[in-house]
Amino acid sequence: MTNDNVSAVNEKMVPDFSLVPAEEKQTEKILRPSTTFLQDAWYRFSRNRLGMIGALIVIFMVLFAILGPILIKADYITQDLQRAYESPSAEHPFGTDALGRDLLVRMAYGARISLVCGFFASIVSLFIGVTYGAISGYIGGTTDNIMMRIVDIISSVPSMLYVILLMVVLHSQSLLNVFLVIGMTGWLGMARLVRTQVMSLKEREFILAAKVSNVSNLKLITKHLIPNSFGPIVVSMTLSIPSAIFLEASLQFLGLGIAAPMPSWGGLAQEGITALRTFPHLMWIPSVFISVTILAFNFLGDAMRDALDPTQK
């Protein structure tokens, strides 16, 4: 190797400490500020049009349920037979029912019953399903097989039959019983979801590290496994709310829901059936409210699933 070649190699090996031009500095600049997981999830959710429409409809229904009975100058229980079956007007925007009661204020009270039933029944399903699924997935083995076969057996019968049977056995058409009955039959999907999440997480490194640190099984489940399954659990709970609303409306339609005179959307639709040919709006109005609310929760749940899924980044 000649002296010139040796000199060239030595020059290449010497570090270059010259100043970097301003143009190269700009190429290394981070154009997007760092964000948290929730900020990324909100960004993705806000760009989902159907999800935003669903959220706005849900907010409207909640405000209608809370403020409607306060703002509407009418009583949902007072009867005026002389004004029975009035068509929609300025005084009664939704008309009146067979007993002369204002349908708009009864729809507002019905929104309270249906939405509260959907939320609280979902909470009952959440508690039972998360507990059952976490125990089954964490223990595994024979215990998991037995617990999941029980779920399969229960799932083989339509949930509506369980709901009707439990309502007949309880002999009480109270709001609390409706919550409990719908919640006790809606936890199966949640249990399967949580079991799958726990089984995929329990062999991860941070769980093994917690076991080595002598963390108790209860703390592993409640402090590590369930919080790391928070996203799918929230989405499943959101999607279970419309199912609970539909079940409550179906019970009320069959006459097994909340006792009169407390209105519910399903009960109002059932009352409208008797005058369907002459006054169809009495059935169509509550039916549309039920359908739009269920559709809005489905839009909201789908958008939350996409927003909370890290693979959507």
Positive or negative, the CA dihedral 43, 206, 195, 200 is: positive
**Measured in Å, how far apart are the chain's first and last C-alpha atoms?**
54
**Alpha helices (H) in 156-280, listed in sequence order:** 159-170, 175-185, 188-201, 205-212, 217-220, 230-253, 265-273
CATH assignment at residue 240: 1.10.3720.10
Would you say residue 49 lies in a domain?
no
Would you say residue 254 lies in a domain?
yes
Q: What is the DSSP letter of 228?
A: G
Would you say residue 143 lies in a domain?
yes
Give dist(CA 257, CA 31) in Å, integer. Answer: 57
Question: What's the pLDDT at 33?
Answer: 63
Unique residue bearing structure tokens 């963390």: 215
Give dist(CA 224, CA 231) in Å, integer. Answer: 14
Would you say residue 78 lies in a domain?
no
Task: Count CB-CB contacts under 10 A for residue 131.
Answer: 16
Give dist(CA 263, CA 247) in Å, integer. Answer: 15
Over its length of 313 residues, how does the chain's per-residue pLDDT go in tens digits? Answer: 555 555 554 555 555 556 556 555 555 555 556 677 677 778 888 888 998 999 999 999 999 999 888 888 777 787 878 888 888 888 888 888 888 888 888 888 888 888 888 888 888 888 888 899 999 888 888 888 999 998 888 888 777 777 777 777 776 667 777 777 777 777 888 888 889 888 888 888 888 888 888 878 888 888 888 888 887 888 888 888 888 888 888 777 777 766 667 788 888 888 888 777 888 888 888 889 989 998 999 898 888 888 876 554 4
Nearest to 123 by CA among 29, 15, 233, 14: 233
Looking at the 3D structure of the chain, how many domains does it have? 1
Q: Exposure of 142 by Cβ count < 10 A (0-12 exposed, 13-18 middle, 19+ buried)?
A: exposed
Nearest to 104 by CA among 148, 73, 58: 73
Structure tokens at 14: 């010497």
Give dist(CA 269, CA 197) in Å, integer. Answer: 40
Question: What's the pLDDT at 55?
Answer: 92
Give dist(CA 157, CA 167) in Å, integer. Answer: 16
Q: Exposure of 309 by Cβ count < 10 A (0-12 exposed, 13-18 middle, 19+ buried)?
A: middle
Give dist(CA 197, CA 130) in Å, integer. Answer: 10
Residues spanned by the domain of 200: 91-312
DSSP 3-state assignment of 96?
Answer: strand
